[in-house]
Amino acid sequence: MLARFDQTADLDLDQDGAELFAQALDETALTRLEAALAALPTNVPGVRIGEGRKLKPFLGVAGPIGGIAATALGPDARPVRAILFDKTSERNWALGWHQDRTIVVRERVGADGFGPWTLKSGLIQVEPPFDILERMVTLRVHLDQVDANNAPLRIVPGSHRLGRLSEAEVQRLVTTSGERLCLAERGDVWLYATPIVHASLAADPPRRRRVLQVDYSADAAPYPLAWHGV
């Protein structure tokens, strides 16, 4: 059974771990962003973006997306991973409660505290020490309206302050603390602390729901590792 939730959007990044930036992109910017994403594959639910030259005007701190990251991380914020999620009637999935725990780096190099390693869409991913994730933020840029039935992000407020949680601890937390739905209009951007406990239901009824998700960090990757970047 789902935990009870409140659908309001009055969340604060420091206190709750998430914050809404309403209408951060106007229709002109959204059209340009869609054009920059147009060459990506459309037959998969999530596309990991390894090279985002066309996205740089949006993702840099002077852009409409990177500028939001800079409000949390300062002028050194840089995009270190990007994924385009595209839910449709043919590709409609749910995602269970979890914390994001991996980063994308240029090459696999032995480093204390890093691992396990994985390879997804040709990109090298690794779980870093958790304190690196605790200093990161993630932005979700909405290209379609997300109401309560169109697979909104579900979060557990305040869970970004609890460190690395086991699967059992995550499930207990959801039961005891409840959840909030991150509803959005086209052009809205949700900013959240990367380690926050989150999930997503399938859309019901199935319909289009495109979200560009970008992770940001203001830290240099610990030597000898290097961020892959976008």
Tell me which of 4 and 155 has the higher pLDDT: 155
Position 5 pLDDT exceeds 60: no
Position 6 pLDDT exceeds 50: no
Mean pLDDT, the chain, rounded, equals 93
pLDDT tens digits, one per residue of 101-129: 999 999 999 899 999 999 988 999 999 99
Confidence grade of residue 8 (pLDDT, cut at 50, 70, 90): low
Position 198 pLDDT exceeds 60: yes
Task: Report the range of poorest mean pLDDT among 4-18, 55-69, 86-100.
Answer: 4-18
Tell me which of 74 and 4 has the higher pLDDT: 74
Q: CB count, 10 Å around CB of 221?
A: 20
